[in-house]
Amino acid sequence: MNKKLVLLAFVSVFTFSAVFTARFITLVTANPIPVPSIMMPYEYIDATISLDEGVMKAKVNGTYTFWNAGHDNVTMYYPVPPDSEGISVKFGNTSLDWDYTGSNYSTVIGDFPMIRWFIKPLPKFTYFNVTTYYEHPVPILDGNYTFLYAMGTGKYLANYSKLTTAYVTIRIGMNIPQPETLNLYTIKYSNGAWIWKPANYTITPENGAWKITSTFKSEFLEPLKEDVLLTFSPLKARLNLSSLNTVHLYVNETFTCGSSLLIMFHSYSGTYQANTTVWNSTIPANVVLSKNVTHPLNLPVEIATLVLTDDAGNILQTLTSLLVGRTHLFTRITQIVIGWPYAPSAERIQLFKELVDISKQWPYAP
């Protein structure tokens, strides 16, 4: 990992100072956690990364479970990225006012402004939840998107839980990253340097997105001390089967040569069938496309190839291709079966025809 990688951080674990008027309770010597105290045993982070009008954005929801052992009120401090938008804070179902404190929280890329809010009265000797939301752009740095969730702020707490568990879920549209480039790390500052370690995680497909999940637990009687960093390379182009005669095209690339993007259609035997132009313009140009493209002859798609051409039609570059195999066909059959009960009569006629055409294509599909 390039330690010079500039990160865009977003921070979710709270540091807070508690102002209390409750009386002190005698401590049991076997328990080092002072009373009164506010502890955070659980945190749940759910982030979605998606393209919004060509800009990569992270939308971040946080839910933080606290235990209050005696405070009447509390002020909480929360670092946010400098370019955060749509910030909101709730105590249960009640929206809270917040403001910038003028102080900063140090991160691997520099200081992030702190916001704060005040809660009074606090429910005592019970659990309560605070939820947050904000969104911010995620830049491409050194060829990778970077996304940081800072759990390490727990080390600044005067009081912490016997065990803190963080549940992190990040969803990224399948049309955004190259799956093989997704990497998750923990990162902490130690002895004057940032230390990176690969983190354990699972990645599964879910409703057209990659769902990345990971669970982090602190040491007993210790806070969480490490941040979590996700990196991935952007997907430049992809073709997926949308229906038997239609592909879904995704492109996110800057072109410094060429003038047109074409999808060329061929049969399994390699026989040329037709092509359709999906973009043409002057260069240099950043091209972001996400659209369905139907076979110009309305034939079942067998092989589709996205190419960059010059003004004379010469192929300068092959960006991506799709060879429709039995796996694609089976997936499409499943989609039709699931959608059949909800399809109107006119659509069912088309779906039935598509099933017939799939059965004809099946013997020849790889």
pLDDT single digits (tens) 242-271: 999 999 998 888 888 889 999 999 999 999
Q: Strand, helix or coil at 330?
A: helix
pLDDT over threshold 50, residue 4? no
| Nearest-angstrom CA–CA distance, 67 and 61 | 20
pLDDT over threshold 90, residue 167? yes
* AA letter at 5: L
Secondary structure, 3-state, 14-32 = CEEECCCCCCCCCCCCCCC
pLDDT over threshold 60, residue 159? no
- What is the structure's pLDDT at 190? 85
- Tallying the residues shown for the chain, one arrives at 366
- Using alpha carbons, select from 287, 7, 8, 61 the residue that is nearest to residue 171: 61
| Nearest-angstrom CA–CA distance, 178 and 238 | 10
- Using alpha carbons, select from 293, 14, 52 the residue that is nearest to residue 159: 14
- What is the structure's pLDDT at 229? 86
Where do the domains of the chain lie, and which CATH numbers do they carry? 9-232 (2.60.40), 236-366 (2.60.40)
Residue pLDDT, tens place only, 106-128 = 777 667 788 999 999 999 889 99
Q: How confident is the model at residue 28 (pLDDT cuts 50, 70, 90)?
A: very low
- Segment 206-230 shows an average pLDDT of 87
Q: How confident is the model at residue 79 (pLDDT cuts 50, 70, 90)?
A: confident
- Using alpha carbons, select from 227, 267, 20, 276 the residue that is nearest to residue 108: 227
What's the N-to-C CA distance of the chain in angstroms?
38
Query: H/E element holding 345?
Result: helix 345-361
Specify which residues 119 forms β-bridges with: 74
